[in-house]
Amino acid sequence: MRIRSLLAPLLLAGLLACGADAAPSAGGDTDTDSGSDPVVSSADPAVEAELLAFTAPTIDGGEVDFAALQGQDLVVWFWAPWCGSCAAEAEGVARVAADLGDQAPFVGIGSQAEVDELAGFVDRFTLTEFPQVADPDGTIWLRFADDVIRSSFLFIDDTGEMTRTGYGEMDEAQLRERVEQLIAS
């Protein structure tokens, strides 16, 4: 009986972490795109540029200087190795990054797991076309996606305007369309 009383709250927390849709942050205007995919845009590139003023370690021991990426289109993918939506979209993300990453660089931010688990996810899905930031404690994830629990994308145009999308799986065709729109803007 004691195990059951301890297990119930843990199970509930796990379900919420893996499947609950979070509300968009208060940082911008919200609109809907395909289905229930929230889109939150920021109208203040100066604030967004401040968010990008940092360097982060990658899973393979390198680093990404986000400030150096300013002034170009950029796609940031937030993922976690335990996230089912992240696993489902990983191969599509890799293909789109391989096809369009020279026009809009991609950066992955693996979070909420130990570095060896993050590296295992990268290896499993061959996510080597673009840098994968190691964010085991979720600090970077919270910097950008303060209310996102599972897979999410951040699209940053060459003027610094950010559009957050996500709260669940985005298929390859949707991602490709979003990146092509980013490049064309």
Q: Is the pLDDT of residue 58 over 50?
A: yes
Query: For residues 87 and 92, what is the distance between their CA atoms, to the nearest angstrom?
Result: 10
Query: For residues 54 and 153, what is the distance between their CA atoms, to the nearest angstrom?
Result: 19
The CATH code of the domain that includes 173 is: 3.40.30.10
Give the pLDDT band (50/70/90) at residue 166: low
Give the pLDDT band (50/70/90) at residue 51: confident
Residues with Cβ within 8 Å of 84's Cβ and at least 6 positions away in sequence, in order, are: 18
Structure tokens at 90: 């990983």
Q: Among 4-18, 59-73, 151-165, name the one with the lowest average pLDDT.
A: 4-18
Nearest CA to 179 out of 92, 63, 118 is that of 92
Domain hosting 34: range is 2-184
- Tell me the pLDDT tens digit for each residue of 14-47: 333 344 333 333 333 333 343 344 444 444 555 5
pLDDT of residue 46: 59
Helices (H) and strands (E) in the chain, counts: 6, 9
For the entire predicted model, the pTM comes to 0.75
Q: Among 14-23, 136-145, 151-160, 162-171, name the one with the lowest average pLDDT.
A: 14-23
- Tell me the pLDDT tens digit for each residue of 87-131: 999 999 999 999 999 999 999 999 999 999 999 999 999 999 999
* Stretch 57-70: mean pLDDT: 95
pLDDT of residue 122: 98
Total number of domains constituting the chain: 1
* Stretch 70-76: mean pLDDT: 94
Check residue 114 and give left, alpha or beta (phi > 0: left; psi -120 to 50: alpha). beta
Give the length of the chain. Answer: 185
Task: Supply the DSSP symbol for 25.
Answer: P
108 SS3 class? strand
pLDDT of residue 145: 60
Q: Is the pLDDT of residue 7 over 70?
A: no
Check residue 71 and give left, alpha or beta (phi > 0: left; psi -120 to 50: alpha). left
Confirm if 98 and 68 have CB atoms less than 8 A apart.
Answer: no
Alpha helices in 41-138 (DSSP H): 45-51, 84-100, 115-124
